[in-house]
Structure 1
């Protein structure tokens, strides 16, 4: 057999190993909030040291509770660099939820692996660790470097994880980045929407509810402002033709997995009013009210465009002030990029099925790499009950993700 065929055969034999690695990671709680991932980083370091003794392994504390991990494996000669990236933090365990399995038990039952983080994203991390181990065992057959970077603060979108690694660790930057975050083996994600989180406040003049003519109702003013926010869904979108075409072409595969309407959401501005508060009693005209909103931007609408629209729409309204709480630009890697194409080809080879190439609705650490113009793909298992009770991932999908990560890296590093 060729070196590539030998590598595939080895990858096909590692299902039990990827499950065992995921179970070890799940067993160590790393909920965010509060965001303490130190024990999870140590556990991951122990796993990598055991499986890949040839790796250069370093831990990078960047805050009181945040530790990141970097592991580097060298090939037979100089060449390209592939980076596997993942995040150690998870949603809170929340034992009060109706769990029917131990939240940190890593229970394997009926082809499903259960536990907090199984899908988001300790399963994906396990896939990347085993992929790195395979590359280390076959290092004579490829050139360059394979690097694993595990970040500590993705769920809070903070600067102490992947963003810190990109600024401080040269090996965190590669010719290709592969992230095993939650998704589906049937859909390769090359980009994601940007977002603005807003706080909108309204002030008025208090009065008795029977004497409304003596007051100015802050909730009425806020209601007008929220109507204006919702109207921003009509902002025009000017996306690159390749992005628009990819979204449309992926619809027959992606929407049955992610929900009808996903393609429209990916190509348009969305506005979600997440919180509204104000007033003290039914018979009092409220003097203040407040709301928060999540506005998601497709590729083709910049933050500057949204900001200008917000100023034009909200600034003239009486009693209304607003501020952006957090913001990121939409980001993508050209779907025609060789990295995307290689992952796509390998995914269809491993799955023996058609794989869609699409944008991603939610955010991920992929944005940090794409902001640095580093080709990046998100390819991970389907999340079930993510953030809720009995979170799980399908073992067959976990194994498939591991094989795609490993073989795609192998091919890129030739």
Structure 2
């Protein structure tokens, strides 16, 4: 049996998604569009509402759906986020009007990650149309607030048990775009990350007699320099973490030595670098620097204990699902996927560590994410969607159906 999977549909859908401004915490319009897109095609979908009243007082919405087979089989989770960062300055084109040039599609969120969302939606539509009988299930979660501080959309999916039965997950973040490698790239894990603040309490004195006090700002500066020299764990897959100071504050009364100071760190971590490890790392740096001020390490507050940070994870290269996904990538693209590991954090961390299932990051290539003139390579978007479709067929359909790709 021969069916048609038109790549133009994927790009038209992506252009529509780009035209809807959806910075995190303001995703209502795009979620309604995605929900209506599924419903207009008679594809199962629900608006999943959630609320966060601690810290943020935010009411969010995801779109969640399931295609259920007629016999037992694997449960495959597809995940993508529809929110973006805010518009940045210096775009050469309108960031909300998709613009194609030289095989690239430009627009806000085109790469990160509306291309991945469009790829999931198109693959689901094709699978729904072509396969009425199959094994297992497909869960698709198009979420809000991935770009925000806590990944609240996917966090809510997990808290509400909507993906409890998933056996593996594919997150269509732009793996090629983020790693800087040519498409296709399959990420088998990711570093994690924590945000913490170091508070220093010195001793005030008159600025004419600074030797009588302990300047908390000076102490913070010395501690930062020494902290950045810390010996980091080197993971055989994830490499090393990073220590990035992202803010510093301090001060006191006029003409006085500063009694208080603080600085905030975003710390990317690898396996073995726990919260306790990071606290110890700060205190060891303070000892090396001869810090006299009192210090306290405080991790950022969070809506609940399970989303206070992002834990790292790694998938075995010989994992059953990894092997099949690599086969799908090679069949569709004609190339073996480069194996890599995501250097930053995202919803995949929650899925990989909290659901404890193999969670793959696979998506298109492009550049300038979180910046002006963001773009995605058009062919890589189409192929990402084709790979997802191919993988679903391999996993859930007994007798594979050939797809004719219109070129």
Same fold flag (TM > 0.5): yes
Aligned twin of 1:259: none
Instruction: Report deviation, 1:268.
Output: 1.4
User: How do 1:329-344 and structure 2 match up within 5 A?
Assistant: 329-344=311-326
Distance in 1, Cα, partners of 2:253 & 2:338: 52
Aligned twin of 2:196: 198
Contact 1:203 1:288 in 2 (8 A): yes
Instruction: Report deviation, 1:177.
Output: 0.9
Gaps of 5+ in 1: 248-265
User: How do 1:6-405 and structure 2 match up within 5 A?
Assistant: 6=2, 10-11=4-5, 14-32=6-24, 35-50=25-40, 52-53=41-42, 55-63=43-51, 64-94=58-88, 97-140=89-132, 142-158=134-150, 160-171=152-163, 173-184=165-176, 185-232=183-230, 234-237=231-234, 239=235, 244=236, 247=237, 266-279=238-251, 285-311=257-283, 313-314=285-286, 318-325=293-300, 326-371=308-353, 372-405=355-388
Distance in 2, Cα, partners of 1:307 & 1:209: 32
Distance in 2, Cα, partners of 1:169 & 1:29: 29
Distance in 2, Cα, partners of 1:140 & 1:162: 28
Contact 2:268 2:344 in 1 (8 A): no
Instruction: Report deviation, 1:317.
Output: 5.0
Contact 1:21 1:47 in 2 (8 A): no
Residues 300, 352 of structure 1: alpha-carbon distance in 2 compared, 3 angstrom cutoff: farther
Measured against aligned partners, the alpha-carbon deviations of 1:311-332 in whole angstroms (never above 9, x if no partner) come to: 5555985232221124322122
Distance in 2, Cα, partners of 1:357 & 1:344: 9
Residues 79, 354 of structure 1: alpha-carbon distance in 2 compared, 3 angstrom cutoff: closer
Distance in 2, Cα, partners of 1:156 & 1:126: 21
Measured against aligned partners, the alpha-carbon deviations of 1:139-175 in whole angstroms (never above 9, x if no partner) come to: 1463221221111111124364112112324456412
Residues 140, 56 of structure 1: alpha-carbon distance in 2 compared, 3 angstrom cutoff: closer
SS of the equivalent of 1:231 reads: coil
SS of the equivalent of 1:334 reads: coil
Aligned twin of 1:408: 391
Residues 388, 305 of structure 1: alpha-carbon distance in 2 compared, 3 angstrom cutoff: same
The runs of 4+ residues in structure 1 deviating greater than 4 Å are 280-284, 311-317
Residues 18, 317 of structure 1: alpha-carbon distance in 2 compared, 3 angstrom cutoff: farther
| TM-score in terms of structure 1 length | 0.83
Contact 1:103 1:116 in 2 (8 A): yes
Q: Which has the higher helix share?
A: 1
Distance in 2, Cα, partners of 1:303 & 1:412: 38
Residues 282, 98 of structure 1: alpha-carbon distance in 2 compared, 3 angstrom cutoff: farther
Measured against aligned partners, the alpha-carbon deviations of 1:261-294 in whole angstroms (never above 9, x if no partner) come to: xxxxx31132111222334799753332221111
Residues 157, 24 of structure 1: alpha-carbon distance in 2 compared, 3 angstrom cutoff: same
Contact 1:344 1:357 in 2 (8 A): no
SS of the equivalent of 2:13 reads: helix
Distance in 2, Cα, partners of 1:106 & 1:159: 26
Structure 1 stretch 144-153 or stretch 123-132: which is displaced more?
144-153
Structure 1 stretch 349-358 or stretch 116-125: which is displaced more?
349-358
Distance in 1, Cα, partners of 2:131 & 2:69: 5
| TM-score in terms of structure 2 length | 0.84
Residues 395, 151 of structure 1: alpha-carbon distance in 2 compared, 3 angstrom cutoff: same
Distance in 2, Cα, partners of 1:390 & 1:66: 28
SS of the equivalent of 1:345 reads: helix
Distance in 2, Cα, partners of 1:159 & 1:356: 27
